[in-house]
Amino acid sequence: MKGPRKGQALVATLMVLPCSLFVLTFAFYPILYSFWLSLHRIILGLPQLGEPFVGLDNYRDLLHDRVALRATVNTFVFVLSSTALELLLGLIVALVIHRSFTGRGTVRAAVLVPWAIPTVVSSQLWRFIFNDKYGLLNFIIYGGEVSRYKAWLADPFYAFVAIVVADVWKTTSFAALILLAGLQSIPQELYDSARVDGANAWQRFRTITLPMLRPALLVALLFRTMDAFRVFDLVFVMTQGGPADATNVLQFYGYKKMFAEGLMGYGSSISVVVFLLSFSVAMLYMRVIKVGFLQKG
């Protein structure tokens, strides 16, 4: 590489270098350090025990930990249910706000309000809604009959449903925003041609909208799946993993092991497992997205 090209390459490298150093420092280093911690038996509050290297013992213990296995099942059920509902509802919202009508800008701004609210705040909001003494849900269903009020968050099934509802309410608008961008990239001429050929609304949606929207759907699916695997604050605020570990997810279980029980090595192994799960899913989705874009092109 000679002359101007060499200078341009050097300038480009220098411009990318700060971002690369930032990513290495605040992303890759914590991942590697967590993996290093997971290979040791570290107990906070007992420094006299040292930090003995135990290899993969923490991971072996994790395989036989029934609470961890329950948390893994809860995590996958949460990811599947919340992501599916968010994509379905997000698609409906995107289709509605994509149409031209009076006040469309205001509606689009209002749709984004739940996503803009911090998760801790929205979690507290839903915890109040599901409260058994003064919750809005009990008031709507039972009115003033306080004796019939139901303790939603004390029931394993309804507690899990509650965290799914709270997550879907907050992040459906994010999926809708991505899908709206995909809808706006579809040429209007395709719909006009389909109408001329006699295609009805369902046929246009099935043969034009869905195939052309596939890359946007996959992008929304990727982001929402990765976020769902890392859910923590929602569970921390609403249920603390209860009742009876019904809402205990891997990320929250790792937090309890590290900071409540002081098992830094064991808790780090849980964090590494969460990272590997989300990374594997992300790589799978990226491959599917790549194929989707190639097919679209």
- How far lies 41's CA from each of 50, 62, 67, 264, 276, in Å? 8, 13, 19, 7, 21
Q: Does the residue 6 lie in any domain?
A: no
CATH number of the domain bearing residue 231: 1.10.3720.10
Query: How much is the pLDDT for 215?
Result: 84
Query: How much is the pLDDT for 88?
Result: 95
- As given in the structure block, the two tokens for residue 175 are 């999926």
Q: Does the residue 35 lie in any domain?
A: no
- For the chain of 297 residues, list the mean pLDDT of each consecutive stretch of 10: 68 86 84 91 79 91 93 95 95 91 85 89 94 90 84 94 96 93 90 89 90 88 89 93 92 92 92 90 78 56
Query: How much is the pLDDT for 106?
Result: 87
The structure's pTM equals 0.88
- How far lies 24's CA from each of 36, 111, 172, 187, 227, in Å? 16, 36, 31, 41, 21
3-state secondary structure of 197: coil
Q: Does the residue 15 lie in any domain?
A: no
Count of domains forming the chain: 1
Q: Does the residue 4 lie in any domain?
A: no
Query: How much is the pLDDT for 293?
Result: 55
In contact, 234 and 215? CB cutoff 8 Å: no
Q: Does the residue 19 lie in any domain?
A: no
Which neighbouring-strand residues pair with 53? Answer: 40
Contacts of 1 (CB under 8 A, 6+ apart): 9
Boundaries of domain holding 56: 49-296
Q: Does the residue 156 lie in any domain?
A: yes
Other beta carbons within 10 Å of 275: 16
Q: Return d(Cα 138, Cα 128) in angstroms, integer.
A: 11
In a 13 Å sphere around the CA of 108, the CA atoms on its Cβ side amount to: 16
